Chains A and B, each alone.
Chain A
Amino acid sequence: MIQREVRVANRAGIHARPAAMIVQTASRFDSRIMLGKDSEEINAKSIMGIITLGAGYDTVLNLTVEGPDEQEAADAVATLFENRFQEELG
Chain B
Amino acid sequence: MKKFTVLDLLGLDLKEHDALDLTCLCGRPGLTREITVQDLNRPGLALSGFYDKFGPNRIQIFGRGETAYLRELEDRGKTDTIDSLFAESVPCCVFTHSQIPTEPFRERAEATGCPLLQTDLATSDFSSRLIRALSNVYAPHETIHGTLVEVFGIGVLILGDSGVGKSEAALELIERGHRLVADDAVEIRCVYGNILQGAGANRALGHHMEIRGLGIINITHLFGVGAIRDNKQVQLIVELELWDSNKEYDRIGAEERTRTILGVHVPHLEVPVKPGRNVPILIETAAMNERLKQMGYFSAKEFNQSVLKWLESEHARNAYFQNKDRFRRDSHSDRDQELS
Contacts and interface: CB of A to CB of B under 8 A. Distances in A.
Given A43-B162, A46-B185, A49-B184, A38 B201 contact: no
A40 B143 CA distance: 6
Given A16-B216, A27-B162, A52-B200, A42 B208 contact: no
Interface of A: 16, 27, 38-43, 45-49, 51-54
A52 B184 contact: yes
Contacts of A41: 143
Contacts of A40: 143, 201
A45 B162 contact: yes
A27 B163 CA distance: 9
Contacts of B194: none
B278 interface: no
**Of listed A43, A47, A51, A52, residue having the most chain B CB within 10 A:** A52
Contacts, number: 49
A39 B163 CA distance: 25
Contacts of A53: 185, 201-202
Given A38-B1, A43-B162, A48-B183, 12 more contacts: A39-B2, A42-B143, A43-B145, A46-B185, A47-B184, A47-B216, A48-B184, A49-B184, A49-B185, A49-B201, A51-B205, A52-B200
Contacts of B208: 48
A22 to B, nearest CB: 12
Contacts of A51: 205
Contacts of B145: 42-43, 46, 49
Interface string B206-225: 00111000001000000000
28 contacts: A27-B162, A38-B2, A39-B2, A40-B143, A40-B201, A41-B143, A42-B143, A43-B145, A43-B162, A45-B163, A46-B145, A46-B184, A46-B185, A46-B210, A47-B216, A48-B183, A48-B184, A48-B208, A48-B209, A48-B216, A49-B184, A52-B200, A52-B201, A52-B202, A52-B205, A53-B185, A53-B202, A54-B202
B30 to A, nearest CB: 24
Contacts of B162: 27, 43, 45-46
Contacts of B1: 38-39
A38 B162 CA distance: 23
The 6 closest A-B pairs by CB, nearest first: A48-B184, A45-B162, A52-B202, A43-B145, A49-B185, A47-B210
Interface string B48-68: 000000000000000000000
A49 B185 CA distance: 5
A38 B202 CA distance: 14
A61 B202 CA distance: 17
Contacts of B200: 52
A52 B216 CA distance: 13
A70 to B, nearest CB: 17
Contacts of A43: 145, 162
**Of listed B2, B200, B201, residue having the most chain A CB within 10 A:** B201
Contacts of A42: 143, 145, 184-185, 201
Nearest to A36: B143
**Of listed B2, B185, B201, B205, residue having the most chain A CB within 10 A:** B185
**Of listed A38, A46, A54, residue having the most chain B CB within 10 A:** A46
Contacts of B205: 51-52
A63 B143 CA distance: 16
Nearest to A42: B185
A49 B216 CA distance: 12
Contacts of B210: 46-48
Nearest to B183: A48
Interface in B184-209: 184-185, 200-202, 205, 208-209
B115 to A, nearest CB: 24
A41 B205 CA distance: 18
Interface in B159-199: 162-163, 183-185
A49 B145 CA distance: 8
